[in-house]
Amino acid sequence: MGTNPFELHMERLPRTIELVRGDDGRAQLRYIDQRKLPYELETVETADWWVVVGAISTLALRGAPALGVAGAAACALEAAELARTRGEAPCDTGYFAEFDDVAERIASARPTAVNLRWGAERAKSAAHRRAAEPGATRADVAKTLYNLVKQMEAEDERANRAIGAAGAALLAPGSRVLTHCNAGSLATVFFGTALGVVYAAAAKGLIERVYADETRPVGQGARLTVWELAQAGVPTTLICDDMAASLMAQGKVDAVVVGADRIAANGDTANKIGTYGVAVLAHENGVPFYVAAPTSTIDPHLADGSRIPIEQRAPEEVLAQPIAGVDVWNPAFDVTPARYIAGIITERGVFEPARIAEALNG
Ligand code: MRU
């Protein structure tokens, strides 16, 4: 136990995503439009699955664990819509032709974070199981999916708090932590993964300061990470991505903690573009590099990171106005080889990257 030179205020952080019932009893997804941060905290409410898909593709709603819940929630909205006018009808083949097609469109809204497909598939399986019960109606399936999403929201927060506790045990008093992108409360239902480690460590008085890479091109570090750390009262310094090397060389970073979008069976980890470079710099400077992620981010079907699909995004994210004759390459993620990772922090404890598949055994 140490002493922080600051007071931690977790109560100032909003919940990122939440399925609620509107006044008319209709299921609605409430989420923060993260494109507006850090200057506006705007919450959207929608009953339409396609609005959620749009929010996912435009990064209004992002971050792997939040995407897992969003995937299931969008399926729940579709089930609610299918039950709205014919709630007492059974779920026949016509019903599932439509529902499964929508579930696939939701699951494939973004390719890299495996949590999105995991969430949508979890909802799809729950729908099929409930519909197969004798006498089950469309309304029953809608209710089952609503309850599933509420359960997933609670599970996500619980997992993040467990990740936080496991990660805090790796940090010494007075730790200066560098992070890349936003793997904070805003990337989850609440609390965060990499920043969950920071918050749990701060609660134990172990944190001196967090350095946030701005994370070009979309600026999740500059807009989201610094916003939420400032809300929580954690001393924060924003740096441009190309400053991490100098900072580490000056001995100002004790640990790097980042999130993950997909972890292959050998521990290779996809995360926001630029993470690989940070890992190499950490290795060169003798700074431990940790990945913090729930087990829903592990993809045991991929032997190594070379098979992780990497999302390519629009050139406008890099270059607002096209320049004639100039092409833009804009991959949203890169893969950090397992050899650079000191440990993967999950809700089930800290694993050596090569043994990460064991985390799925319970
Ligand atoms: O494109 P984004 O903003 O969805 O990318 C997010 C990241 O890369 C995060 O670091 C990752 O999802 C982990 S979030 C706990």
Quick one: three-class SS letters along 119-170? HHHHHHHHHHHHHCCCCCEHHHHHHHHHHHHHHHHHHHHHHHHHHHHHHHCC
- Active-site hit among 254, 261, 268, 334: 261
Residues with CB under 6 A from ligand 1: 59, 62-65, 113, 181, 183, 187-188, 193, 220, 259-261, 271-272, 332
Residue nearest to atom 7 of ligand 1 (CA): 272
Q: Residue 5's pLDDT is what?
A: 73
Give pLDDT tens digits for 284-322: 999 999 999 999 999 999 999 999 999 999 999 999 999
Residue 268 annotated in active site: no
Span from the CA of 246 to the centroid of ligand 1 (angstroms)? 24
Contacts of 220 (CB under 8 A, 6+ apart): 62, 181, 182, 272
Please compute the mean of the pLDDT values over residues 7-25 and round it to a whole number.
Answer: 96
Span from the CA of 328 to the centroid of ligand 1 (angstroms)? 21
Give pLDDT tens digits for 100-155: 999 999 999 999 989 999 999 999 999 999 999 999 999 999 999 999 999 999 99
Please compute the mean of the pLDDT values over residues 258-286 and round it to a whole number.
Answer: 98
Write the DSSP assignment of 65-79 as a string of letters: HHHHHHHHHHHHHHH
Q: Is the pTM of this model over 0.85?
A: yes
Query: Among residues 41, 48, 36, which one has the least CA distance to residue 13?
Result: 41
Q: How confident is the model at residue 2 (pLDDT cuts 50, 70, 90)?
A: low
Give pLDDT tens digits for 165-222: 999 999 999 999 999 999 999 999 999 999 999 999 999 999 999 999 999 999 999 9
Q: Residue 8's pLDDT is what?
A: 96
Q: Residue 1's pLDDT is what?
A: 63
Span from the CA of 59 to the centroid of ligand 1 (angstroms)? 10
The percent of residues above 90 in pLDDT, for the chain, comes to 95
Residues in the chain: 362
Contact between 313 and 332 under an 8 Å Cβ cutoff? The reply is yes
What is the rounded average pLDDT for all residues in the chain? 97
Give pLDDT tens digits for 58-86: 999 999 999 999 999 999 999 999 999 88
Residue nearest to atom 8 of ligand 1 (CA): 272
Query: Among residues 85, 81, 64, which one has the least CA distance to residue 127?
Result: 81
Question: How far is Cα 264 from Cα 36, in angstroms, rounded to an integer?
Answer: 33
